Amino acid sequence: MIQLQQPKGFYDNEDKELLQSPCPPEVDFTTQDPWRVLRILGELVEGFDALSKIGPAASIFGSARLRDDNPYYQATVEIARLLANAGIAVISGGGPGIMEAANKGAYEMKGTSVGCAIQLPQEPIPNPYQTIALKFRYFFVRKLMFIKYSIAFIIMPGGFGTLDELFEALTLVQTDKIDHFPVVLYGSTFWNGLIEWLRHEMLSAGCISPQDLDLFRVVDSPEEAAHIIIENSRKHHYIQ
């Protein structure tokens, strides 16, 4: 396991300090942010160095709150197993719930299991099913790692963070900032309400184009989710 060691005081809220604006008048920002930029640069270098040779990978997003008796957790384990068996690394947020399930499935198949954890009070301890374990102070650095090193995205049921990751991936695909990799939503019962809103509100208002609704697929079985990604990876020669 690759484990990047973090200095004491890691659980300070670096994101909040960085994004807080304006600074109090008595604080000279030139003594604060330039040094913070070096810390951000250090996280980028560590992340790039650790992940540069993992090969084709799929990021799996979902709720940290779902436990191992939940059907979505169990489905995630199976998806990760199928991907790992095909030679595709699995990247998760490194925490509990769906993230743990993703890492667990890949780990059990002796595949590459990457966790990109973030400092959060709700997720103090990374899950143990990782062959590469990273920990970030800054959300945007962590999210960059998901995007940069993934050739597919699987979106399991989740909360605000999961929606953030979903719409970031869709926005980058829609605007051609990344290749048109598969974006797979798992669980039609969970996602149908959102999809209907996209169709009847966002599309009807002219805020998106009809083809934008083709940027993602909705599936209800681990086999179908994995199949979409594996076949696309073979088509583009990421795997044999």
Tell me if 168 is assigned to some domain.
yes
Each residue of 196-240: pLDDT tens digit?
999 999 999 999 999 999 999 999 999 999 999 999 999 999 999
201 in any annotated domain: yes
Q: How many CB atoms neighbour CB 191 within 10 A?
A: 19
> Is the separation of the CB atoms in 62 and 55 below 8 Å?
no
In the chain the beta strands, taken as DSSP E runs, fall at 2-3, 57-61, 89-92, 113-118, 132-136, 152-155, 183-186, 217-219
> Do 76 and 60 form a contact (C-beta atoms < 8 A)?
yes
Domain that holds residue 107: 2-235
Question: Contact, 148 vs 57, CB < 8 A?
Answer: no
Q: What tens digit of pLDDT does each residue of 99-139 get? A: 999 999 999 999 999 999 998 776 667 899 999 999 999 99
The pTM for the full model equals 0.87
Mapped onto helix, strand or coil, the DSSP state of residue 8 is coil
Tally of structural domains, the chain: 1
CATH assignment at residue 159: 3.40.50.450
Number of other residues whose CB lies within 10 A of the CB of residue 113: 28
Tell me whether residue 133 is in a domain: yes
The reply to whether 240 falls in a domain is: no
Residue pair 102/76 in contact (Cβ under 8 Å)? The answer is yes
